[in-house]
Amino acid sequence: MSQRSFYPTHAENRMRHEGDIAGARALYFNRPSANLRLLLRHRYEWMNQFIGPDDEGIEVGCGTGLSKEFIQAKKYYLTDAADFDWLDYRHVDALATPFADASFNFVVASNMIHHTARPLAFFGEMQRILLPGGRLIIQEVNASLVMRMMLRLMRHEGYSYDCNVFDPEVICNDPHDLWSANCAIPNLLFDDMAKFEQHVPAFTSIHSSFSECTCMINSGGVIAKTFYIPLPAWVVRLMIRFDAAMAGRFPSLVAMQRQVVLQSRDAEGASATESRQRLPFQVESPHALAMRLRSAA
């Protein structure tokens, strides 16, 4: 898996129902699967520790909108470029949203940054709509060895490390294809956080962790679908615990997802330590968070 680029066409995709967001949402509620339900619970519930009780926020590129089943904020709104009836705001381009400056305490971006054509434009727009000290809460793909192997096997999405994500003139995905994807983008952005903060000084990192392997492979897929083995909830919980342990120790080998929280710097350019001290809630360490989620599962 040493090749730096792999780009399958949509016709080569071995998963079913690519892009059928409405069908995936209906299937989630009408034919519930412990495999997918517990995967998504673990994928979203960790975000709640970065959301205050009175915070207001949105999800950009929400797709199925299933995050609303797990995010506890009272003022939490779903946005997407589509026009589904479960959306609170429709036809929202994440690179040019219709919201006023400094509108939100937090923004959720779940597995959508690797679809963006211009990552720097995305971060610029998020900084604009976030309040000073607001959080950009990110769940993204991690192009580990196992992830790249699965991408080549299923031909669902591609990756390329030959893309300068910090060049505002470089187009990293086809802007006319919402399902165009480069799964290496999160690694290019976040593997070297000092480099990220140098190129995106409006944000400082306050959290980074890794997760998911076997539970993602045997989930059946969130939107596009494939074969999976239905398992009892207790087995899925054990898989999630196993994945958390392995992903934390060997992220470049097995972790198929990663979590990043970026905080918008205030007008004084507060450091990460100063920003954490002013948060209106207690932020757990990555280790404490993993232990609590394991216990809750």
* Token pair in block for residue 188: 């290019």
pLDDT per residue of the chain (297 residues) written in tens, 0 to 9: 447 899 999 999 999 999 999 999 999 999 989 999 999 999 999 999 999 999 999 999 999 999 999 999 999 999 999 999 999 999 999 999 999 999 999 999 999 999 999 999 999 999 999 999 999 999 999 999 999 999 999 999 999 999 999 999 999 999 999 999 999 999 999 999 999 999 999 999 999 999 999 999 999 999 999 999 999 999 999 999 999 999 999 999 999 999 999 999 975 555 444 544 445 555 554 445 555 555 555
Domain boundaries, the chain: 5-296
Q: How far apart are CA 93 and CA 232, in angstroms?
A: 39
Q: Are 260 and 62 in contact (CB under 8 A)?
A: no
Torsion of CA 62, 63, 66, 71, to 10 degrees: 0
Query: What are residue 185's phi and psi, to 5 degrees?
Result: -55, -50
Q: What is the pLDDT of residues 25-42, one digit of tens each?
A: 999 999 989 999 999 999
Architecture of the structural domain at 5-296: 3-Layer(aba) Sandwich (3.40)
* Token pair in block for residue 216: 């993602």
Q: Are 113 and 142 in contact (CB under 8 A)?
A: no
- The pLDDT value recorded for residue 269 is 58
pTM comes to 0.91
Q: Are 281 and 263 in contact (CB under 8 A)?
A: no
Distances 156 to 144, 173, 183, 242, 279 between C-alpha atoms, Å = 16, 15, 11, 25, 39
Q: How far apart are CA 55 and CA 72, in angstroms?
A: 10
Q: How far apart are CA 140 and CA 46, in angstroms?
A: 13
